[in-house]
Amino acid sequence: MEDRKENVARKLGRGFRATLEKIKNFFLSLPARIKQKLAGAKEILTQGNGKVAASMVVMGLGQLLYRQWAKGILYLLAQLAFLAYFILKGAGDLIGFFTLGTHESNAWYGVEGDNSVIMMLMGILAIIALIFYFVIYLANVKDAYKIQCAVDTMKSPASFKKELSSLLGKNFHKTALALPIIGVCVFSVLPIIFMILIAFTNYGGTVVPPALVDWVGFENFTKILTLGQFAPTFFRIFGWNILWAVLSTFINYFAGLGLALLLNRKCVKGKTFWRLFPILAYAVPGFITLIAFKFMFSYGGPINQMITDAGGTAVGFLDIDAKWTARFIGLGVNAWLNIPSGMLLATGILSNVNTDLYEAARVDGASPWKQFVRITLPYVLFATMPVLISQFIANFNNFGIFYFLRGGLYMDGYFLASDTDLLINWLYNMSIDNNYYSIGAAISIIIFAVTSVISLAVYVLSPSYKQEETYQ
């Protein structure tokens, strides 16, 4: 989990500039690319002979006419299979995607109704099948045209056997990438699509199959932002969520940097040894430390024991009324968990700072503080801006901290949440524990929108974006 988070965070940071650049380039190159595609299509349409046209009408027919038996039969089978699927099931699924079911089940009369969730899934699959068919269809037409070109220039077209063996040779990437791509599609892309769609339905609460689910447009979003049941909770949690993300990112970042600078001082001997302690903290799985800290601050925990031994009364650090103590403990625990990785990062970056700069500064009589503010900080900030942003996102969505420290508390004034919960905890409480699926999905879209807008804005305003070449 930790490792993956780090990985994702890194990619995310590196991705920002690349994405911005790529979006720009994409739109700039769009006209040329469309032109190119159209030219290709035009060539096939005008130059293609009757056999290519046959392939356009029935997949594989052109290949058969050219006596490419195996390929022709495969394309023909694909055509037939798709037609059979679409007539028997796909078309119905596609309609079902829009209606999400019309027959409500009725146990009394023994009527088996439509299952809206399954229908939505099948609808998505039908759309994917359509796209897939379209891709194969295009490949089929292109293939027929390629054979025509080969025959016209008196070359013999590639045999099926040869093309098959190219899957281990020239086209090895097609074979190798098939499985990873299918996996990512099913387990990463499908959930994203599914979640986005669910946010626009009324799925959840009492509306779960066998009851029929319906499309409701933006109703869930207006509910969250205006309805008395959700809106106060949303804005309270949202405010705290922003404060938490800013505070915790700030604390972790500068504490990590400070620790790295401290250990980097010339007078410190045995740097590797001292570094082992934060690494030790970094290495222990997060859930273990979180549960341990919960024990530490619990009523029977060692801290309270010491307080009672000293004659005091036990303090409910994480109790239902312990708003700010709990929040501060959360910040502290989060710092304990994340400072080590911040330190490792800063250490790595500090080793790349140009030492001549410090030499020059010392000659000019700059104080250590001035050196830090004028040389170290700008450099480190510049180099770590993408990481800083991804840490902000990770903190904004820090599920673990309050799930473990205070999980499952529901408070007055909050709808299924407590005053330390972040949006991500609320989302969990709502959708996993209490079946408010569509509201949960809408919240996750809001979270995504908020975090991406904030991080994009910070990034565009940051020096690492404005003066890209400063340190190159």
How far is residue 165's CA from residue 171's CA, in Å, rounded to a whole number? 9
Report how far residue 472's alpha carbon sits from residue 432's, in angstroms, rounded to the nearest whole number. Answer: 48
Contacts of 146 (CB under 8 A, 6+ apart): 157
Residue 161 sits in the site that holds other proteins (CB under 8 A): no
User: Least separation, in Å, of the C-beta of 7 and other proteins?
Assistant: 5
Q: In the bound complex, what is the minimum distance in angstroms from residue 184's beta carbon to other proteins?
A: 6
Confirm or reject binding of residue 187 to other proteins (CB under 8 A): yes
- The CA distances from residue 373 to 197, 221, 368, in Å, are 48, 44, 9
Q: Which is nearer to other proteins, 66 or 200 (CB)?
A: 200
Phi/psi for 284 (5° steps) reads -65, 130
| Cα 400 to Cα 422: distance, rounded to the nearest angstrom | 10
Say which residue the tokens 């599920």 belong to. Answer: 399
* Stretch of 64-72, 318-326, 358-366, 439-447 lying at the interface with other proteins (CB under 8 A): 439-447
Residues 35-54 that bind other proteins (CB under 8 A): none
Q: Which stretch binds other proteins (CB under 8 A): 80-88, 145-153, 217-225, 288-296?
A: 288-296
Strand partners, 207: 204
The rounded distance, in Å, linking the Cα atoms of 201 and 217 is 7
Q: Which stretch binds other proteins (CB under 8 A): 86-94, 175-183, 359-367, 412-420?
A: 175-183
φ, ψ at 207 (rounded to 5°): -90, 70
Nearer to other proteins, 228 or 285 (CB): 285
How far apart, in whole angstroms, are the C-alpha atoms of residue 297 and residue 418?
A: 18
Binders of other proteins among residues 375 to 394 (CB under 8 A) are 383-384, 386-387, 393
Is 17 a binding residue for other proteins by CB under 8 A? The answer is yes
What are the structure tokens assigned to 35, written together? 């032109």
* Residue closer to other proteins (CB basis): 157 or 386: 386
Q: Which of 59, 64, 117, 389 binds other proteins (CB under 8 A)?
A: 117
Contact region with other proteins (CB under 8 A), list: 66-74, 83-91, 287-295, 315-323: 287-295
DSSP state of 46: H
The single residue among 59, 126, 147, 198 that binds other proteins, judged by CB under 8 A, is: 198
**CB 449 to other proteins: min, Å:** 11
Identify residues 387-426 at the interface with other proteins (CB under 8 A).
387, 393, 397, 399-400, 404, 424
Q: What's the length of the chain?
A: 472
CB of 216 to other proteins, least distance (A): 17
- Of the pair 49, 166, the CB lying nearest other proteins is at 166
Contact 440, 256 (CB under 8 A): no
Q: Which of residues 305-334 bind other proteins (CB under 8 A)?
A: 305-306, 309
Is residue 111 within 8 A of residue 103, CB to CB? The reply is yes
Residues 224-283 that bind other proteins (CB under 8 A): 259, 262-263, 265, 267-268, 274-283
Considering the rule CB under 8 A, would residue 295 count as an interface residue with other proteins? yes
Q: Shortest CA distance to 458 belongs to which of 392, 365, 373, 361?
A: 392
